[in-house]
């Protein structure tokens, strides 16, 4: 699909699946994927990839997966959330101590709050041009960071979204993730207020 000197950006296929799960778990080591175990992380990637409304890309160096980007239409976020809810409960039953993890408790509170308001993820302060795609997750292998792989992934993601007639894109990241904040701003994403104090939302108009 898109190629830099050493890196090929291509749609995620079955053979990349395990490497993407591993990369996600290592890149977001304070997230649900680690606290709730690998089966939850696999279920998350699987549900997103299965959806007809998703865009799933990998960055390859040779055959090695060095990055990925996963996004889904805002309208389909509820489906993913509903599909994953039993997985979360199952993981918590299998490892009840995970509830002691601050991130797990915060994310569960956030999920419950989201259930109680009309779904629009993330809860940005501006009207999103519809249809809008939510970038759920992007990560690059630490060994090859700061070499433009993330840039290629995000630009290819935007291009794929345009081709699929999405008019805008959005995402949320933790306010303390200063690398991600610098990354999105550098690539032209606009900071917008988010509904949660510890999250920063970004917006990208795909029509310009």
- Report if residue 27 touches ligand COA, rule: CB under 6 A: yes
Three-state SS at 144: helix
Tokens of 178: 């200063």
Interacting span for ligand COA (CB under 6 A) from 8-16, 35-43, 143-151, 194-202:
143-151
Rounded distance, CA 133 to CA 53, Å? 9
Alpha carbons 173 and 102: distance in angstroms, whole number: 17
Report angle CA 90, 92, 97 to the nearest 5 degrees.
155
Query: Contact between 26 and ligand COA (CB under 6 A)?
Result: no
> Structure tokens of 66?
């060095």
Which of 139, 161, 169, 206 binds ligand COA (CB under 6 A)? It is 139
User: Which residue, 91 or 201, has its beta carbon nearer to ligand COA?
Assistant: 201
Rounded-to-integer distance, Cα 24 and Cα 41, Å:
8
Q: Which of residues 94-133 bind ligand COA (CB under 6 A)?
A: none
Alpha-carbon torsion angle 146, 147, 148, 154, nearest 10 = -60
* Residues 9, 27: Cα–Cα separation, whole Å: 19
Instruction: Tell me which residue has its CB nearest to ligand COA.
Output: 150
**Residues of this chain, 145-184, that bind ligand COA according to CB under 6 A:** 145-151, 173, 177, 179-180, 182-183
> Does the footprint of ligand COA cover residue 32 (CB under 6 A)?
no
* Residue 6 lies near ligand COA (rule: CB under 6 A): no
Number of residues that bind ligand COA (CB under 6 A): 19
Least separation in angstroms between CB 90 and ligand COA: 25
Instruction: Name the residues that contact ligand COA, by CB under 6 A.
Output: 27, 137-140, 145-151, 173, 177, 179-180, 182-183, 186
């Amino acid at each position: 699909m898109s190629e830099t000197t050493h890196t090929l950006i291509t749609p995620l296929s079955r053979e990349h699946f395990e490497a993407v799960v591993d990369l996600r778990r290592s890149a977001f080591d304070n997230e649900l994927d680690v606290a709730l175990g690998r089966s939850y992380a696999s279920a998350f990637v699987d549900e997103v990839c299965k959806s007809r409304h998703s865009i799933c890309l990998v960055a390859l160096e040779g055959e090695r997966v060095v990055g990925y980007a996963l996004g889904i239409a805002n309208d389909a976020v509820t489906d993913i959330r509903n599909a994953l809810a039993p997985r979360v409960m199952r993981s918590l039953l299998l490892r009840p101590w995970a509830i002691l993890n601050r991130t797990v408790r915060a994310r569960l509170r956030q999920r419950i709050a989201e259930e109680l308001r009309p779904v629009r993820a993330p809860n940005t302060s501006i009207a999103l041009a519809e249809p809008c795609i939510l970038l759920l997750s992007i990560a690059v292998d630490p060994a090859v960071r700061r070499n433009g792989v993330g840039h290629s992934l995000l630009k290819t993601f935007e291009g794929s979204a345009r081709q699929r007639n999405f008019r805008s894109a959005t995402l949320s990241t933790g306010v303390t993730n200063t690398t991600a904040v610098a990354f999105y701003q550098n690539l032209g994403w606009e900071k917008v207020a988010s509904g949660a104090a510890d999250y920063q939302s970004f917006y990208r108009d795909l029509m310009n």
